[in-house]
Amino acid sequence: MLFSYLAHRRACDDKQRERAGRIASPPEIHHEPLTPQDKNILSQPTSFIIAFVQTSSLHPSDVLTTYAKRALQAHAQTDCLTEVTIAPAEKWARGANRSGPLAGMPVSLKDMFAVKGHDSCMGYSALCGKPLDYGDVFVMFLRDAGAVPYVKMNTPTTMLSFEATNEAFGGTENPHKKGHSPGGSSSGESTLLALCGSRIGVGTDVACSVRAPSHYSGTYAIKSSMHRFVKTGSVLSMPGQEGVPATHSPMGKTLEDLETSFGVPCSR
């Protein structure tokens, strides 16, 4: 038992070091203070950003840089990020579909969504250090629509809790009151949205897993109906459990953001 605990502790420590390295690795611009242009981009609703990209008034790379800056600031405040995929996201942004319904819009993802080359450990030490060799079909749909996935978000272990703590990444703070929970299980997602580190994101819901954290954080979400969105490739906390299935569910900073994003992945 001692040796298994030591292996667990080592896996968690290694994962946190890996995350710290990825946070430090993006270009220095992502660690600089927000500029007036950044603040203007952050103040725009999702529909405006998409329209600006579609008309070439904004480049997806500029939008990504702004949201990457703010996401890293939000993480320093709340410990909300798990996988930092900003480096590959820069490549995706350069080739993003600028005529798509989510043209150039950064999208944050709950940790269970598979991104090739990165873990989806959901707080399980046994899944740390095991980067996936495939990507989530839902994430592929988002990219086809022009979106740029750039960070993955913290969850409680097993994703079956209204809390936001696991030993792999630690606990996520409520965005409005330190020392309080942001709810769960889409904990990091609602926190990042509340702090404007993202405008739109995707969580999952069985029993209030997007609704509770949205309530705690003052953001918006809707639990999708069963099978509305494809789940092929998503990493499950309990593979084979089909009695109470989760649904992929969109989340937004505002109701308008939520309305803009809802339905896009299934309109392909």
Two tokens, residue 257: 């953001």
Which residues, other chains included, contact 25 with Cβ-Cβ below 8 Å and sequence gap of 6+? Answer: 87
How far is the C-alpha of 142 from the C-alpha of 266, rounded, in Å? 10
- List, for residues 218-244, the tens digit of each pLDDT value: 999 999 988 888 888 899 887 777 777
How far is the C-alpha of 98 from the C-alpha of 78, rounded, in Å? 32
Tell me which of 242 and 214 has the higher pLDDT: 214
Structural domain boundaries enclosing 1: 1-262
Looking up residue 201, the CATH number of its domain turns out to be 3.90.1300.10
In a domain, 244, yes or no: yes
In a domain, 161, yes or no: yes
By mean pLDDT, which of 47-61, 81-95, 155-169, 181-195 is the weakest? 155-169
In a domain, 10, yes or no: yes
In a domain, 215, yes or no: yes
Give per-residue burial for 156-176: e unless 16+ CB within 10 Å, then b.
Answer: bbebbbbbbbbbbbebbbbbe
Q: How many domains does the chain have?
A: 1
Q: How many residues does the chain have?
A: 268
Return the H-helix or E-strand segment holding 108: strand 106-110
In a domain, 268, yes or no: no
How far is the C-alpha of 26 from the C-alpha of 85, rounded, in Å? 9
pLDDT at res. 18: 97
Q: What is the pTM of this model?
A: 0.96
The residues assigned a catalytic role are: 110, 185, 209
pLDDT class for 209, splitting at 50, 70, 90? very high
In a domain, 267, yes or no: no
